[in-house]
Amino acid sequence: MELHSDALNVFLKASSEAAREGKPVRAFIGNEASDLDSMASAILLAWSRGAASDGLPNVPVMNIPREDFNLRTEALWLFEDAGIDIKDLVFLDDVDLGALLANAASRLVLIDHNKLSAAQGAWASKVEEILDHHADEGLYPTAKRSIAPVGSASTLVTEIMLATGTPLPANVATLALGTILLDTVNLDPEAKRVTERDEAVVNRIMPVSGARQKILFDRLQLEKFNVAALSSRDILRKDYKEYTMGRLKVGMSSALLPLADWFKKDEDIEAALSDYAEARKLDVLLVMNAYTAPEFTRELAVHAVDPSLRRKLFEFMNQSGLGLAALKDEVKAPVGDTDYYSQADLSQSRKKLQPLLSEYLG
Ligand SMILES: [Mn+2]
């Protein structure tokens, strides 16, 4: 195989076509959180096995619906930087993985986890191999295992690629490199993630990638928190939890941008909040904004069609010490079914506020 960047896309296209045909496959799947490591290491291990081994097409499967990929902004950036055709990746809703695995010949390789999620537990008999860096739970005893406590599953895959002489075009090296750097906080010993094995792999693939370590790491770190390209709906669902509190259905989103920036970015933020709350039949949607610019700052948006409910929540939260106050005049908050506040108590995250509200409304 030539060391062209296109080689990876040729492989991905062939593997996605095989999966869409519904024939038996060997599926490589990461964990259900589907972070960059899970997705990259599934692609890399499948790539290292070539188009097909023992007649089975090797197919990396992203363990999320296609729509959710945009929310993983650092993965989107690195995949695009590596020139990957996103359309040729296989996401959970692109194929019926359960039906593919129902073929007697199909096999499953678990990457970046060693226990199937509850929803995917029925596939246990299909697991033939595990590659992971989490503690081994000892399941699927007949599976071949490569499990070691390194900083990134991508380190284990890259070791295999290097040992087996897998073709390593620059973009494949960059995909591995960026993932390992992000997982190990740029190989920083203080972060207590990096091991000697991560470092050794990075030293070997950096010249192949041609990327500069600090520049690549800083960019990925930035992209992780970059919501500029996301719609209001995507910002709301990126980090969202839902609760039943007494008779009320309450949604809580954490968002990483200043309200002032959001108002500028989306003139119709009110419509976005209303649509989001309506689609989920919420009585209340709370949006907790937290960002550093340059000081750490918190803000809160309370969306509810019922103004007396908004008032009641505001009064309760201030009795609880949140220190909510109207935004400064120069921040032009839209008028509608939402109240927007600055929040003086910087320690009140969703994790702390949710039980308080549950108790109050319960
Ligand atoms: Mn991982």
pLDDT in tens, 107-142: 999 999 999 999 999 999 999 999 999 999 999 999
Burial 227-264 (b: 16+ CB within 10 A, else e): beebebebbbbbebeebebeebbbbbbbbebbbbebbe
Three-state DSSP class for residue 315: helix
**How deeply is 208 buried, as exposed, middle or buried, from its count of CB atoms within 10 A (0-12, 13-18, 19+)?**
middle
Cβ–Cβ under 8 Å, residues 17 and 31: no
For residues 282 and 167, state if they share a domain.
Answer: no
Cβ–Cβ < 8 Å for 40, 176: yes
Query: Quick one: average pLDDT of 160-180?
Result: 97
Give the pLDDT confidence of 252-265 residue by residue, as tens digits: 999 999 999 999 99
User: Domain boundary at 162, 191, 224, which?
Assistant: 224
Domain assignment of residue 305, yes or no? yes
**Residue 28 domain-assigned (yes or no):** yes
236, 220: one domain: no
Closest CA to 150 of 160, 140, 165: 160
The CA 27 to ligand 1 mean position distance, Å, reads: 18
Counted residue by residue, the chain has a size of 362
Residue 37 lies in a domain: yes
In a domain, 1, yes or no: no
Which of 224, 248, 268 lies at the terminal end of a domain, its last residue?
224
- Look at the chain and report how many structural domains it folds into: 2
- CB neighbour burial string for 71-89, b if at least 16 within 10 angstroms, e if fewer: bbbbbbbbbebbebeeebb
188 DSSP assignment = -
Instruction: Name which of 148-152, 214-218, 289-293 the model is least confident about.
Output: 289-293
**Same structural domain for residues 70 and 143?**
yes
Helix (H) or strand (E) holding 27, with range, is: strand 26-29
One domain, residues 203 and 253: no
- Position 164: which residue type? T
Q: Are residues 216 and 251 in the same domain?
A: no
Q: Is residue 205 part of a domain?
A: yes
For residues 74 and 191, membership in a common domain is answered with yes
Distance 303 CA to ligand 1 centre (A): 36
Q: Largest alpha-carbon pair distance within the chain?
A: 68
Q: Domain check: are 21 and 152 in the same one? A: yes
Report the separation in Å between the CA atom of 289 and the middle of ligand 1, taken as the mean of its atom positions: 27
Asked if the structure places residue 351 within a domain, the reply is yes
Residue 327 lies in a domain: yes
Which one is predicted more confidently, 256 or 101?
101
- Please give the mean pLDDT across all residues of the chain: 95
What distance in angstroms lies between residue 153's CA and the mean position of ligand 1's atoms? 5
Task: Report how far ligand 1's centroid is from the alpha carbon of 133 (Å).
Answer: 7
Same domain, 159 and 182: yes
Is 65 in the same domain as 185? yes
| Ligand 1 centroid distance, CA of 163 (Å) | 21
pLDDT of residue 235: 96
Indicate which CATH number applies to the domain containing 308.
3.10.310.20
C-alpha of residue 184 to centroid of ligand 1, in Å:
10
When pLDDT is cut at 50, 70 and 90, the band that residue 2 belongs to is very low
Q: Are 252 and 192 in the same domain?
A: no
Domain boundary among 164, 199, 224: 224
CA 151 to ligand 1 centroid distance, Å:
8
**Does pLDDT of 5 surpass 90?**
no
Mark whether 155 and 266 lie in a shared domain: no
Q: Is residue 204 domain-shared with residue 324, that is, in the same domain? A: no
Range of the domain at 48: 6-224
